[in-house]
Amino acid sequence: MSDTPAPHPITGQCFSSPVPPGTGWPEDPATAATPVAHSANHCAQLAASAETVQQLQAVVSVCAACPRLVEWRAHVARTKRAAFRDQPYWSRPVPSFGSTTARRVIVGLAPSAHGSNRTGRNFAGDPAGEWLYRALFKAGACNQPESVAAGDGLQLSGARIIPAVHCAPPGNAPHAEEKHTCRAWSVREMELLQPVAILALGRIGWDSVFQIGRRLGWEGVSPRPRFGHNTTATVRAEWGEVRVVGCYHPSQRNTATGLLSEEQLDAAVTTFMAVAQST
C-alpha cells in the first residue's frame, strides 16, 4: 500500500493505494468485514451464496484469488503513471457498474492498469471509456457522455457493464486460469440480472458470454456462434430468450487503426438497445 495518501480527484478525500475497503471511496460496495476469496473454490462458494447483486459486488471488490493479479495491481498502485502520480489508485477488483434492473448487459475484457484500476469504475478514465460512454449517452443509456472517476455523477441506467476479469492483468492479458476463476462471479451475476440483451465487446467478451451460458445451461451456445461486429446470436436461458450482439472492443488500438469507427460503435449499441426494448 502506498505510504502517502492522495486526494480523490472528485471528493478530495485522501486514500492510500490500494484503497482499503469501507473507507469512503465513491461506489465502494465493500466494508472492512466483507469476506475475501483466496481460491477459485472460495470464489464459487461466495458467488453462489450472494442473494443480491449488491452482495455479490461487495465480495467481488475484495477478491484475492489470483496471486499474479493481486501482485500486479498492488505494483501498479505503488508505481503509478506519472500523469496520475497525485491521485490514489483503487487497485482492487473493479466491480460491475450500472443498472441492476435494465436487463441489458455489456461484457468487456478487464480493467486497464491506469484507467479502471485507478478509478474503480469500469471504463472510467481511459480512451476506451470515452468512446463507449459517448455511444451509450447518444443511445439514451446514461446521463452524461464521459466518465473520469467514480463519483463524477455518471448514472448508467440503461445497461450494466460486467468485465470478463475484474482485475487489471499484466500486459492486459489475463491467463486462462484467471478467466476461469473470475467467471464464477459473472455466472452468478447473470443469474441475478437475467438479461435479455448482451453486448459483447471483442472476441474475448464474446467467448466469455458463451462460456457463461454453457455453465448456466443455455441453449444455442454450442457450437459457439461466430463473432463479428454488429452481428447477433440468439440463445435461450432459463428465463427466456437472450440476444447477444457482437461489437469490436473500443480499445485505443482498434479506434486508432480504424478497425472501429464511432459510427460502427453507435450502430452496434443501437442494435443492442433496440433488441432489449423490443423484448
Task: From residue 37, give the alpha-carbon distance in Å to each of 57, 181, 265.
Answer: 12, 11, 36
Pairing label, strands 232-237, 240-247: antiparallel
CATH of 6-277, one of 3.40.50.920, 3.40.640.10, 3.40.50.2000, 3.40.470.10: 3.40.470.10
CA dist 268 and 264 (Å) reads 6
CA dist 139 and 133 (Å) reads 10
Domains of the chain, by residue range, sit at 6-277
Pairing label, strands 197-201, 104-108: parallel
Residue 277's Cα: distance from chain center in Å? 22
Cell numbers for 201, please give them. Answer: 465487446
Output the tens digit of pLDDT for each of the chain's 279 residues: 456 899 999 999 999 999 999 999 999 999 999 999 999 999 999 999 999 999 999 999 999 999 999 999 999 999 999 999 999 999 999 999 999 999 999 999 999 999 999 999 999 999 999 999 999 999 999 999 999 999 999 999 999 999 999 999 999 999 999 999 999 999 999 999 999 999 999 999 999 999 999 999 999 999 999 999 999 999 999 999 999 999 999 999 999 999 999 999 999 999 999 985 544
pTM over 0.85: yes
E strand intervals along the chain = 6-7, 14-15, 97-98, 104-108, 160-163, 197-201, 232-237, 240-247
CA dist 89 and 275 (Å) reads 37
Query: Which of 90, 100, 98, 97 is CA-nearest to residue 167?
Result: 90
Query: Which of 125, 141, 259, 240 is CA-nearest to residue 199?
Result: 141
Cell numbers for 77, please give them. Answer: 498502485
Q: What is the CA radius of gyration of the chain?
A: 18
